[in-house]
Structure 1
Amino acid sequence: MLTRPDPITYLDHAAEAGRAYKQRLLDSLDLRPDHTALDVGCGPGTDLPAMAERAGAVIGVDLDQTMVEEARRRTAGLPVEVRLGDAHALPLDDRSVDRARVDRVLHQVADPAGVLAELRRVLRPGGRAALAQPDWETLAVDPGSTATNLAFNRFICDRIMTNPVVGRQLARLAAAAGLTVVTIDTEALLLRDFATADELLGLTRNTHRAVETGRITRPAADAWLADLTAGPFLATFTLFRVVVSAA
């Protein structure tokens, strides 16, 4: 049985792979020294120091106590406060933050619309938030069987991710929550190294899980993984970036 990677290590490696889009997401917030900025689902605090370089005060919120403790360790001495809390019920007062980011969090939550409503509640009038989400149905890998690739995607969307296509829904859900959509952008994230893609996308471990549930046959799975490891390899998927503002 293949085990999941250590969560903190996984998030650090995912942040490194997504460094370029994260920079664009940060830039879109237009942080200033008089701002209080919020990172919803801050994880181990990977992005908090960069926010603290631009904003006067930064608040990170995460549901996992281990993540909160690691984020506090990494931001010791910085103008950062890390709070234990649920994105559906943020531990902040109404209209208390100027900027917020929600990066690769909404595919995991029970109610994305509820999280966006909370975001609107805590943003000050004129405040801005930057949202980023992959669309897991768009995952494309090469080489290997296209049919197995599609079966793998269907398994991920049906059985692994809570909200696998919330990326494409971001703008609509944000508008329904009372936020004003400022910009919508997409970009294709590209991975050329199988080992990195395997860690971040769970290609091997989730293919084996798909076999165990009867979604992919063992011969098809073995052939697909053998092709992917033989390379040359690439994997790509669509990332949606949406910037919103509060009235």
Structure 2
Amino acid sequence: MSTSLGVPQPDQAAYMLRAATSAAGRGYKQELMELLDVQPGQTALDVGCGPGTDLPALAERVGASGTVIGVDSDPAMLAEARRRTGHLPTVRIREADAHALPVERGTVDRAKVDRVLMHVTDPAGVLEQLRLVTRPGARIGLAEPDWDTLVVDAEDLDTSRAFTRYTTSEAVRHATIGRSLARRAERAGFAVETVRATTPVFLDFQDADHTLGLGRNMHQAIRDGHVDAARGRRWFTSLSEGPFFAAFTLVTVVCSR
């Protein structure tokens, strides 16, 4: 992988698939699936399913008598999701916005929203949609990072802090939504059952660069005038030259309808 700040935006489907299969991704996803407790015969909804990373696991849990619905607004993501799940007759793929879910009211037993609310226009509106389409007793799993907790070890600590500030204030729409998930879920009318915080740790520079967008976001921060160009480039180069450490907090909330 290049250590240049001029790194192009990655293919989003490939990015999400790699992130999901990383050590950091596997841990919280497995926990989320366990907490959802999907049962045979149920209808499970994946809002913002992306390239279909979690659809096969959901299909396995609902069994032949259940249904899995994957919803996303990105045609390229959905094309990959269809390719990955074409052999699974219980999976339905639908193109739609999370603010207007194409699902019959009161029909969903289990729903998950994984790293999606931080990007949408109106998180409260999406949660209201979830309340409409889920049936009484349904269980909903939410997982979102809190990018204000991002730490990147570097001798130039001020630039690491500037990088986190830029990520929080500019790069991600709702960058601190992880910490407010439980409150938002309660306001939407759900009963919060479980709140977990995990800390994905990155010890490999290339994995962190791919997942956290170190080069891409620093390039943007320099371009937008948030970080001095020479200092930002020195910071990024130094990260690739020695032992590496970065981490952030990811919050998982499981609630019931």
TM-score range, shorter chain: over 0.9
Paired residue for 2:17, among 12, 26, 30?
Answer: 12
- Out of 32, 37, 57, the position equivalent to 2:39 is 32
Deviation at 1:39, TM superposition (A): 0.3
Alpha-carbon distance in structure 2 between the residues aligned to 1:124 and 1:118: 12
Match of 1:31, SS state, is coil
CA–CA distance in structure 2, aligned partners of residues 204 and 144 of structure 1:
17
Q: 2:68 is aligned with what amino acid? A: V
Distance in 2, matches of 1:15 and 1:116, equals 23
For residues 224 and 142 of structure 2, what CA distance do their matches in structure 1 show? 33
- Given the alignment of the two structures, is residue 76 of structure 1 paired with residue 86 of structure 2, yes or no? yes
Q: Distance in 2 between matches of 1:44 and 1:75?
A: 10
Shift of residue 127, structure 1, vs aligned partner: 0.1
- The whole-number CA distance in structure 2 between the counterparts of 1:139 and 1:159 is 14
Q: Deviations over 1:220-247 (max 9, x none)?
A: 212211221112001100000000100x
Displacement, 1:159? 1.4
Q: 2:166 aligns with which of 155, 158, 161?
A: 155
For the residue of structure 1 that corresponds to 2:104, the secondary structure is: coil
Give distance in 2, aligned partners of 1:189 and 1:126.
Answer: 31
**Residue type at the aligned position of 2:81:** A
The one-letter code sitting in structure 1 at the alignment partner of 2:135 is R
Q: TM-score, normalised by structure 2?
A: 0.93
1:22 to 11, 25, 29: 29
- Aligned residue-pair number: 246
One-letter identity of the residue aligned with 2:204: D
Q: Distance in 1 between matches of 2:204 and 2:114?
A: 23
SS in 2 for 1:230: coil
Q: How do 1:97-176 and structure 2 match up within 5 A?
A: 97-176=108-187
Question: Given residue 13 of structure 2, which amino acid in structure 1 is its aligned partner?
Answer: I
1: CA distance, partners of 2:32 / 2:171: 26
Q: Distance in 2 between matches of 1:208 and 1:61?
A: 32
What amino acid does structure 2 have at the position aligned with 1:13? R
Residues 151 and 160, structure 2, Cα contact 8 Å, conserved in 1? yes
**Contact 1:143 1:231 (C-alpha < 8 Å) held by counterparts:** no
**1:186-216 superposed Cα distances (whole Å, 9 cap, x missing partner):** 0100111101110111101211211111111
1:67 CA drift (Å): 1.2
Instruction: Report the AA paired with residue 67 of structure 2.
Output: A
Instruction: Judge conservation of contact 1:137–1:154 (CA < 8 Å) in 2.
Output: yes
1:65 match: 75
Indicate if the aligned counterparts of 2:35 and 2:254 stay in contact, CA closer than 8 A: yes
Q: Could you say which residue in structure 2 is the equivalent of 1:47?
A: 54
Task: Give the partner amino acid of 1:54.
Answer: R
Contact 1:143 1:232 in 2 (8 A): no
Equivalent position SS for 2:49 = coil
Q: Distance in 2 between matches of 1:152 and 1:126?
A: 42
Structure 2 match to 1:219: 230
Which ranges in structure 1 are unaligned for 5 or more consecutive residues?
Answer: none
Is the 1:39–1:102 Cα contact (8 Å) retained in structure 2? Answer: yes
Letter in 2 for 1:62: D
Q: CA deviation at 1:73?
A: 1.4
Structure 1 runs, 4 residues or longer, greater than 4 Å off: none
Which of 189, 194, 205 lines up with 2:216 in the alignment? 205
Whether contact under 8 Å (1:94, 1:122) holds in the other structure is: yes
> Which whole-Å deviations, capped at 9, do the CAs of 1:136-192 have from their partners, x for residues lacking one?
111111133221111111111221111000111111111111111111110100111
Deviation of 1:77 after TM superposition, in Å, equals 2.2
Specify the code of the residue in structure 1 equivalent to 2:36. Answer: L
Counterpart in 2 of 1:185?
196
